[in-house]
Structure formats: structure tokens, C-alpha cells
Amino acid sequence: MIPDALIVPSECAPTSLDIKRALLSYNKVLIVSPSDRDVIPSRTFGMALGLPPIMSWEMGPVMPMGKAPGYDNDIDELANTFNQAISEGALEIISTYSEISPGSMLIGSVGIDNYPLNPQAVFWIFRSMAADQALMRAVVEDNYLASLNNRDDVLALGLEGCGDGQINDIPGLPLIEDYYDDDDLRKAVSRICYARLGSVVKYVGYCQEKNVVPILPSEGYQNIVNRLLCNSSSIIQQNADTEDSFWVRLNRMQRVIHEDLVDASILADVQVKDILRLRDVRWRDTMTAKERLFESLRQLALSSKNDYEFSEKTTNEIAGYLAVAEDLESEWKKIRLKLTCEVGVASIAAAPKIVGEITQISNGIGSAELILIAGGVWFLQQVKELGSEIIQLQEREAKLKRGVGFGLTKAYPSLLKKSR
């Protein structure tokens, strides 16, 4: 089954090129409504603090993300441009929760509509990550923020919320260090960092619950995912008992990378109706084969006794997939749309060159929460203290067919040792 994908929102609206790329790699593409900008529904803030879900006040945003000028209009224009894709069910604008007017009071059960996550878990994982200076600096580094020369533009993006302050005896979140001498700018940039980290936590979790692949088009997001994956891989490897331990075997999948390379200069000029026409039976067969490949490689990762055996076993599986992909590549060349599908085993930390297309990483770990925890700061302590809970988690992970996937686009390092 070909997975759906969600383009994780940032301060800028997705581009038409982002959506076209995604339509050529996934079954349905989801973009988030301009009204959905907070890390958790604000009426669940009390629940996040541990209060019983029987009464709630709408106190205002918890940790909202700002918008670049014209954001809402850009989303409307995308909806018009991709109207055919929407009508055919290939594109959808969604919201993770519904809004309630500020100042509203709810008595009785505090509903969270179709928001599928535990607000308390999302909030505190976000808080732990936002307290880390390395993660803040990683998520803030991208071309968009660097391009803002106007002080007021930066200040406008750093929106206030109630989620970054002191909570009882827990200190408020720190400001980013050594970034600006101007205190107001430091506060604004810190809030931009908080919102971006909150967005990563929220949408990685949301996509797991909905069985959707998160596409992260911003460089700041990609920096964070790269850091989380490297951290979780390193921590699991360092604290495994043997090379044959469950977590080491599962961790091998983190080095399996798939790249769909489409000539962006040509794709930009392809009309939406032609993009949809390309999603034919041959395309569907190729995308289905890619999903089966990831499922098969996960099982090989679990059954292989060491890394060498895993690498040897993957050769035939990858060759079989590439044979299917070559048929699609040949067909698309007839219309000047060059497609190259690459898959192989690489190091996540490798960065030999820059590409401009979709790189898909399928993590061996099936739990988004575990990736966030392991990639942050808690996993080592949890392994030492949780004992039976870790065993239960291992049993659950062993039953999953597929790990958490990430779609990375734009200026992301090509991670592959080319397999052909």
C-alpha cells in the first residue's frame, strides 16, 4: 500500500514544487490549514499540566508558529492551482483540531476532536527538546530566517504563548544563546525555535498515529531530524549488550535511504493535470514495490546477526526493486521528465553532495515517541530504569511491519553510496 504524506508546516506556505514532488512519491498529500498553528489545542493546556480533563478555559495559544507575510493567501492560491488534485482525492487540506473562541469555558469532558495525540506527552517532549541549546541552534539555521534583514519581520514571526514560561517550580524555557545582542530579537528567535521544535514533535507523532509520512521541507526541520536520528542511533548502539541485540538489529534500518530524483527545473513547468496523469498503473506498481522493499528490509534487519550479513541480504531485495523502478524511469524519459530512483545503505551522518529532491528515510524504530525520546535526552535513563516497560516496547516494535519514515526535500545532503 502506498503511504500518504503530510507536508509539515513552517513559517512559509509549501511551494507548488513541494506538492508536485510529493504527488509523485505518495498516494495522497496533506497540507495543514492556516488556522492550525499551535503545538497542542490550547484548551488542552490544563491536561498537559496534569489537570483532570473536566474543565478548560481557552487561555490563548500555547506555542504558536508565526506566518510569513501573505501565508494565508498563498495557501488559497495553492488550493486553486491544485484544485483538480483536491477533487480527485490526491491532495487535502486538513486540521489536527478545531478552534474555540478565546475566553471560552468548557465544563465536562474536554474534547480534543480528531487530535490523536496525548497533549501531555507532546507538551513535555517539546519542552525537553526546547531546553536544549544544540537543538535550538540546529532548528533555527536555515536560509529563510537568514534572509530576514528587517528587524520587524523577525519580531513578527516570534509569537508569544503560555507554553514557554515557568510552570510551578520548573523554570521557563531558556533563550537561545549568543545569537543576538538585542534582547527583543533573542526572544523572538527563541520563540521561533520553540514553535519549530513543537511542530516537529506534534507532526512526527501525528503522522505515526495516522500512518502518514511527514515531509519536512525546511532546512531547520531537516537539521533536527538528522540530529534526532543520529542521536537515537548512537545511544542505542552504545548501550546495547551485544551486536546481535534487538535494538542494534533494528537500528540497521536507519541506514537505509531512498531517493527519488526528479529534475526540478522541468517539474516546475509540468502542469498539475499532467502530474496526475503520471500517477498511472506503472507508477503505482513502482511505489508499491518501494513500500514492500522497506517492509522486507526491516525484517532482514531483525533477522541478520551482524551488519555484514544485513548488507549481503539486502543486495537482492534492492536489485529487485530497482528493476521495477527502471520501467518507470524509461517511461518518464519519453516526456523529458527524468526520474532516478536510488536506494542503498549509507551513514545518516554522511553529506557528500547536495540534491534537490525527495530523500526518504525509513527508520527501523516504529515508535515516533521513542525516536523523539532517544534523539533527545531520555532514552539511556529509560533503558536503565524502566526494565519491563522497555521489554514491552521491544515486543511491540517486533510486530510492526515498518518503521517511522521521513521525507526530506530541498537542500538536503545526498546520503547514498550509489547502488548502480
pLDDT tens, residue by residue, 364-393: 444 555 556 555 544 444 444 444 444 455
Instruction: Supply the DSSP symbol for 170.
Output: B
∠ CA 214-65-209, nearest 5°, is: 30
- In angstroms, the CA 296 to CA 300 distance is 6
Q: How much is the pLDDT for 108?
A: 42
- In Å, how far are 194, 346, 416 from 352, measured between CA atoms? 30, 11, 9
Provide the number of structural domains found in the chain.
1
* Domain assignment present for 104: no
Q: Are 45 and 301 in contact (CB under 8 A)?
A: no
Radius of gyration, CA atoms only, the chain:
22
Tell me the pLDDT of the chain averaged across its residues. Answer: 75
**125 found inside a domain:** yes
Nearest-angstrom CA–CA distance, 94 and 97: 9
The length of the chain is 420
Per the structure, the complete domain to which residue 60 belongs is given by 4-99+109-414
Specify if 420 maps to a domain. Answer: no
By the 8 A CB rule, do 272 and 31 touch? no
91 Cβ neighbours under 8 A, 6+ residues apart: 19, 23, 28, 29, 30, 31, 82, 85
- Type of residue found at 59: M
**Ordered alpha helix ranges (H), 39-162:** 45-48, 71-81, 83-87, 119-130, 133-140, 143-146, 151-157
Evaluate whether 420 touches 322 at the Cβ level (below 8 Å).
yes
What are the phi and psi torsion angles at 46 (to 5°)? -60, -40
| pLDDT for the residue 89 | 97
**What's the pTM value of the predicted model, to 2 decimals?**
0.81
All three cell numbers of 15, joined, read: 511551494
Amino acid at 356: G
Tell me which H or E stretch contains 256.
strand 256-262
What pLDDT is attached to residue 350?
A: 38
Query: Does residue 143 form part of some domain?
Result: yes
Q: Which residues of the chain have pLDDT under 50?
A: 105-110, 347-357, 362-366, 377-391, 403-404, 409-420
Residue 37 lies in a domain: yes
